[in-house]
Amino acid sequence: MTSKYQLVDNKFYYEDSDVPINKFDIKDTQTIHEIEKELLEEAYTVFFNELDEKTRFDEAYLISLHKRTFESLYEWAGLYRDFNMIKGESRFCQGEFVKSSSQKIFEELKSDNYLKNYESHPKSEFAKKLAYYKCELNALHPFYELNGRITRMFIDMIAAYNGYKFIDYSQISPKEYIDSAIECVQFADTVKLEKIIFNGLSK
């Protein structure tokens, strides 16, 4: 079995495996995925309960989502990568530019007031903003692993802050979601992602 990502240095995974080296030396794919899922579910509850008017959806917040969710399992939780990463035809931000690119994204998000107080805006406008920043973070792919799930949680927390439920993706197929992510990363086209988010947003 080979890694789902193409990395210049593949010492990050156990040999001939797609399982990242972890604190418990677990090498079974199904087991590690189950643990990751449990940790993510617990984190959703914790971070949702912590939301208040002081919450800032900045770079530190994104890093804290990753670190606090997975630090019991992975040494690298919350650390930005410094190597190049490719998945299929999608090339993510080059490792040497991850930090500077992240700063630019969050400077823009800050100018949008971290998308706080968007409950008074039309849902279509909110969905467009969420899709844009989700796309930017997907293309950034800042962490060693688990980027998609943390980015989704980051966007869900912004939605929840604004009075919405977590975005519902159950009405679309995995292929539709992956296709929207690919178009986003490869072509900066958020049309499909906007539609998915719009349809998944509800009060």
d(CA 82, CA 72): 22
Sheet arrangement for strand 90-91: 6-7, 85-87, 90-91
Domains of the chain: residue spans and CATH: 6-200 (1.10.3290.10)
- Across the strands, what pairs with 7? 85
What is the pTM assigned to this prediction? 0.94
Which helix (H) or strand (E) is 177 found in, with range? helix 174-187
d(CA 79, CA 112): 25
Give first-to-last CA distance, the chain, whole Å.
43
pLDDT in tens, the chain (203 residues): 334 555 555 688 998 888 999 999 999 999 999 999 999 999 999 999 999 999 999 999 999 999 999 999 999 999 999 999 887 778 899 999 999 999 999 999 999 999 999 988 999 999 999 999 999 999 999 999 999 999 999 999 999 999 999 999 999 999 999 999 999 998 989 999 999 999 999 99
